[in-house]
Structure formats: C-alpha cells, structure tokens
Amino acid sequence: MNSLLALSLILLLLLPLSSISLIHSSAVEDPAYPSGMSFFPLTNVIYTTYVIGTVNITSLNIGNSYLSSGMFFTKSNASLQLNAMIDGKYWAQDVALFHEINNKEFEITMIINLWNLSGPFKILKNNVTTYQGLGVYLYQGPTFNVTLPLNFSLFMNATNNLEFGYCINGKKYVYQVLPYFGNFQIGGLSILGLPNDLEFVWGGPGCGSEVCMSGEMSEEIYYLQQGKLVIPSSAFSVGLDTAESAYGIKIFANFENISSPFACITKGVNSPSVLWPVPPSIIVQSNGSIKHVKLCINGFPLSNQEVEVLVPSANLSSPIPFTTVKEFGYTNNDGEITFNISSQSLYIIYYPGNYTLSSAYDISSPLLSHLVSSIKSAYDSLVNFLKSYNFKHALSSSFSRIKYKSQSTSVDYLLLEYIGAFAVGILVSAILAKYKF
C-alpha cells in the first residue's frame, strides 16, 4: 500500500462519523447524464471563435450529490457547464457552481477548467497542475448571489485571446483572459478520441459526481458564424464529454418557432435523445384520388413547408427507387395541403426537411416499405450515434480550490472528496480512459 493511500485511509478512520456520509445504500433509480443540450455534427466540422449558452430559470431545487462510488459528496450544489474543444487539443470549461441558499436565492461561483490534452502547459505558469502527463489549468473566479427568476449565460471568446465570461439578466462580465490557444472546433474527434462537441449541461459539482435536482428552465446554445450567432442544426439532450451528471430533470424541445427551437427542462427522467432535427407527423386522409395532407410537430401545424409527391423511377431496384417528383406544394397556415394523385397507385408523400426538422414520409402501401428503406434522415443517423455511444468514458472536472457549502454542515467536502476518492480507488479529476467508437 503506498503512503498516500495509507494516509487517506488513516484520515478516513480518524474523521468523526457525523462528518462522513456512508456509501449510498441504494443505487439511483433514475439514470444520470450531463443534462441540457449539446451539438455534435456527424458529417462536418465547424470552427468558430465564440460560443454561448443561455438558461432562463423559473424554479430550481438542488438536492444531494454523490461520487461515482455512491459515496455522499455534498448537498445543494450543482454545476452548469459550457464546454467546448479548441482545435481538438484543449478542453475548455466555463463553469458556474450553483449553491442553493433557499428556493429563490442562489450563490454562484465561477470556475475555469482548461485541459491540455497533448501534455503539460508551457505558456501558463500559474494555477496549473499536471495529471498523468496532461496539463490542467484551474481558476476560481468571482462569487455572487442571484435571485429567481434568472436569465443567465456562459460564454467563451477566442477571437484574439481566450476569454471566459458570464451574463446576468443581460449584463455581461469577462472574468478571465488567457493567451490565444486556437478556435473552438465543433465536430470530429479530439486527439484523445473524445467528440469535439459544444455542450451546455447541468451536472454534479465536480469529480464526476451526479446530483439530484429539479426545476423549470429553458436553454439555448449558439455559436458565431459569419458575424452572426447561429442556432445549431442539431442538438442532443445530453453532453458527450463531461462526466458530471444530473437526474430528476428531463429535457425536450420547443418547436413553436421551427427556425428558433430551444430546450425545455422540467421534472422527470432524462435520457440520451435527439432534440432536433426530428421528423414531423404527416397525417394523410384519402377521398378517392384527393389526398389531404397535414404536417405538424408536437401538435403545432407547420405552415409554408414544401411537401412533395414522389413516384417510382423506371428502375425499382435502384438504391433509391422513388426519385421522380410528380407534384409539390406548400402547406397553408393550418399546415395543410391537398394533392390529386389519380394517375399513380404507388407514391410517397415526402417532406424533405427544413430548419431543424428532419425528413419524413408517408407511403401509399405498406408493401412498399422495403423499397424505401434506403431513405435515411439526419434524425436516424443521430439516433444511431447515441445508441452506440459510451457515456462511461468522459472527462471529470476538477474544482479543487472550492470548499463546497451545505445548508446543514460546514464539513470541508474537498477533504472528503480526496479521502473518499482514494479510499474507493477513484482518481479525482482524471480522464477515465481513451476509447474508440
């Protein structure tokens, strides 16, 4: 047994039982994920100099958090993280640690984690450490109180230097400026094989912890492209890189304006899902040759959307047998359109997709389903990606300069964090593993 582990175990035995919560006796019933929204394009790579995540909080309740071993970590503390990769070499985290004072008032402490995935930092000299050959920059920013309802944003700017900031009800603050490291890369894999995603997620207060929380919120993420803030063309309900997670909340998309969708957070169970693009519902009612078509998403009619009637090409054995557009038109304000398809018995009513909606279709005969199996949408690809994704391999944040607060005790949770971590064999602030997709 090495001396550090022995010392940790001795300290664990010497601490009074009142200051230590025992291993969580029962496993969390709900699955825990980094919960919020993320953007990871599967087919292209986007470079940008500016990323921002915004949350509108109506209500928020933060419960207990636990280390991955099941050991109690702290109470009433959670992290809101804006995370992005820089050129696949650095992992930048702009983090707000929320501590619940009461159901209306919260204390926020700003934290920066910047990982050098290629080795120790050479430019940065202060607030740096090295873990398993990787450089880690740790910085604690300002602490302030906020009251609900709250409009709160996290942003990072890599235009000239690397700026970390936040906004409170529209007022902007930059709290740390570092040298330039490159542009934010969204898409592709980092040099460690992790996805270069842009994520704006809730999770436990560091060290791969999971937190029980609930609330009513909405979230948006944007990135800068050609001088304008752009809504991502796709979004997941979970983050892909961070190991901190949350349970007790569910994420779903709001499509009242399909060109400006956003994520909603409410009480429930989250699961890895595609927020958008998603296929809309196509409802077809036949009256002889007249086909009444209605297009809607989550009950909202989709107006001014192109809908096509596809008919078979000459070669039905071709990879895409339906290639000829016989008719097309645009839905009215009620999301409806009518076609007269008297000359064809085999056809597909097809919606090609628009904004953050995926393609969808209705087939005239179930027997033709095998002929159109090659029609795949962006939604299908994103779902398949999530099904095969391994969420166990991620980056555990390190907030080692923080002494976590609790409503019921003044225990130094940082000390417990290290003692508990060594006692059960957990490596704090570690990359859990390199892996392949």
- Amino acid in the structure at residue 7: L
Report how far residue 12's alpha carbon sits from residue 156's, in angstroms, rounded to the nearest whole number: 39
pLDDT, one tens digit for every residue, the chain (437 residues): 443 333 333 333 333 333 333 334 334 457 899 999 999 999 999 999 999 999 999 999 999 999 988 899 999 999 999 999 999 999 999 999 999 999 999 999 999 999 999 999 988 989 999 877 889 999 999 999 999 999 999 999 999 999 999 999 999 999 999 999 999 999 999 999 999 999 999 999 998 999 999 999 999 999 999 999 999 999 999 999 999 999 999 999 999 999 999 999 999 999 999 999 999 999 999 888 899 999 999 889 999 999 999 877 665 555 555 567 788 999 999 999 999 987 667 788 999 998 889 999 888 876 666 666 656 788 999 999 999 999 987 888 877 666 666 644 343 444 333 333 333 322 223 333 333 33
Per-residue CA distances from 340 to 123, 291, 292, 299 (Å):
69, 6, 9, 26
Pairing of strands 210-225, 245-247: parallel
Angle between helix axes 413-423 and 3-14 (nearest 10 degrees) is 120
Give Cα separations from 190 to 90, 149, 163, 244 (angstroms): 8, 37, 21, 19
Residues near 126 by beta carbon (within 8 Å), at least 6 away in sequence: none
Cis peptide preceding 277, ω within 30 of 0? yes
67 contacts: CB under 8 Å, gap ≥ 6 = 73, 207, 208, 209, 417, 420, 421, 424, 426
Is 206:78 a contact under the CB 8 Å cutoff? no
Question: What is the C-alpha separation between 216 and 58, in angstroms, rounded?
Answer: 5
| One-letter identity of residue 314 | A
